[in-house]
């Protein structure tokens, strides 16, 4: 009789709760990572050597739709029994210091990545992880129930707000939901800590 062993966690360098999302970060040397020819080793250094593979050729962005949410993530990878939804073209290209990455955090980018993953998961009907690759760090987002519910239940309202006939983009949905998430009492502490560190 064999017992199921829990998979070994990845060597994340830090993690924090930011606006209801558990954020895990992995810092790397951008010069070393960018020198790799393999896409996974270059964009997902923490998963170097794993079995993750791109679903579409590199640089080709496919559309994924779940309800009224239409996304075009930068890359979608198959990884085990699930998918990885990766964004690496957003952000401002700044290097984030390991000691101060919370102060330099961008909530809008985080919510866009989660919305991207929701669209991919809804269309492919597979569990999908939301990832963002910055200049020198890789992030994995684990959204809480409040964040997921807020994003999922405000798609129609965001479509009306942006006067879109068919669908909204993850950026539009994130911009619509961010002030509502900041107003939630349970998430005010984490949002306040980000604002305080920014000040």
Is 110 an interacting residue with respect to another protein (CB under 8 A)? no
User: Kind of pairing, strands 64-66 and 69-71?
Assistant: antiparallel
Q: Which of 152, 184, 188, 193 binds another protein (CB under 8 A)?
A: 152
CA distances from 106 to 23, 47, 78, 92 (A): 12, 24, 27, 10
Q: Which residues make beta-bridge pairs with 27?
A: 137
Query: Whole-number minimum distance, CB 102 to another protein, in Å?
Result: 17
From 33, 40, 96, 118, residue interacting with another protein (rule: CB under 8 A): 118
Q: Is 165 in the site for another protein (CB under 8 A)?
A: yes
Gyration radius of the chain over CA positions: 17
- As a three-state string, the secondary structure of 98-136 is CCCCCCCCCHHHHHHHHHHHHHHHHHHCCCEEEEEECCC
Does the protein bind another protein through residue 172 (CB under 8 A)?
yes
Verify binding: residue 89, another protein, rule CB under 8 A.
yes
Footprint (CB under 8 A) of another protein, residues 58-77: 66-69, 72
Angle ∠(48,13,75) on CA atoms, nearest 5: 45
For binding to another protein (CB under 8 A), which residues are involved? 7-10, 22, 47, 50-51, 66-69, 72, 79-84, 89-90, 107-108, 112, 114, 117-118, 121-122, 125-131, 140, 142-143, 145, 148-149, 151-153, 155-156, 159-167, 169-172, 174-176, 178-179, 182
């Amino acid at each position: 009789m064999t017992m199921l062993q829990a998979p070994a966690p990845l060597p994340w360098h830090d993690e924090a709760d930011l606006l209801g999302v558990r954020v895990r970060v992995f810092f790397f040397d951008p010069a070393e990572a960018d020198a790799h020819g393999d896409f996974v080793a270059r964009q997902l250094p923490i998963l170097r050597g794993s079995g993750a593979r791109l679903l579409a050729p590199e640089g080709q962005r496919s559309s994924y739709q779940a309800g009224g949410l239409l996304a075009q993530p930068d890359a979608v990878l198959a990884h085990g029994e699930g998918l990885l939804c990766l964004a690496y073209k957003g952000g401002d290209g700044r290097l984030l210091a390991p000691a101060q990455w919370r102060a330099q955090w961008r909530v809008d980018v985080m919510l866009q990545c989660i919305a991207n993953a929701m669209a991919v998961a809804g269309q492919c009907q597979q569990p999908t992880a939301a990832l963002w690759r910055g200049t020198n760090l890789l992030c994995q987002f684990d959204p809480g129930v409040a964040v997921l519910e807020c994003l999922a239940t405000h798609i129609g309202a965001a479509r009306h707000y942006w006067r879109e006939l068919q669908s909204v983009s993850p950026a539009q949905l994130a911009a619509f939901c961010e002030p509502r998430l900041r107003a939630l009492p349970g998430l005010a502490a984490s949002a306040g800590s980000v604002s305080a560190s920014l000040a």
